Amino acid sequence: MGPRFTNAALLVLAGTLTLTGVFGLFSQLSGFALDLHRVAAWMLVVLLPWKALISYRSLRRGPARSWDRSVVLLVSIALGAASLAVVVWSIGWMWRIGADTVRLAGYRDTAIAWHWMVGLATLPALALHAWRRWPRRGNRTCFRGAAFCGRPPSARPACSYGAPESLLRDCVRRESW
C-alpha cells in the first residue's frame, strides 16, 4: 500500500471518527453511527502498520535544518503517541481491560472519557501535520505507479507496465516521501 493511499485513508478515517464521535457526545451513539464509528476505528487499526512504516522512513531521515520540518516532526511524534493512547483507551474500555478510571496529569476520569478528550485534542495537531506534510503538486511529470511517466498521453498505456525501474525510482525520489 502506498504512502499517499495510506495517508489519505487515515485522513478520511480521522474525519469519520471525529464526526461520529462528536455526534455520540451530543446524542446517544447507537445504530448506524456506532457501527460506522467502530468500523472506521478498526480500519484505522489495520492501517497503523503502514503508517508506522511511513513514520519510520521519515524519522530515519532525521530533522532537517529547517525549523518547519523539526517542529512538524515533533508534532507528528506527539500525534502518533496520542493516537495510540486513544486506540488503547478505546480497546481497554470496550473489552473491559484495565482499571475503570485512568489518572493522568492529576485528573482522574474513565478510559472512554480520556478517549474522546485526547481524540478531540489531537485534531489541531492532525490539521497541522496534514497541512505541512501533504505532498505538494509542484512536479506533475511523475505519477505514482508509472501511469504518466512524463510521457505524452498516447504513450501512457505502454508506460504503465514495463517502465524502466530507474525512471520509477526517479519518480518516487521526486515525491516528498
What are the pLDDT digits (tens) for 49-87? 998 898 888 888 877 777 777 787 888 888 888 888 888
Q: What is the pLDDT of residues 118-161, one digit of tens each?
A: 888 888 888 888 887 777 665 444 444 444 444 444 444 444 44
β partners of residue 102: 109
Residue with cell 448506524: 32
Domain ranges of the chain: 3-137, 138-177
Question: What was the pLDDT predicted at 147?
Answer: 47
Comparing C-alpha atoms, which of 73, 49, 54 is closest to residue 3? 54
Q: For residues 76 and 45, which has the higher predicted lDDT (pLDDT)?
A: 45
For residues 78 and 125, is the Cβ–Cβ distance under 8 A?
yes
Crossing angle of helices 111-121 and 123-133, rounded to 10°: 40
Q: How far is CA 94 from CA 87, 99, 111, 147, 157, in A?
A: 10, 12, 9, 44, 49
Q: For residues 163 and 18, which has the higher predicted lDDT (pLDDT)?
A: 18
Half-sphere exposure of 53 (CA within 13 A, CB side): 10
Element (H, E) at 110: strand 107-110
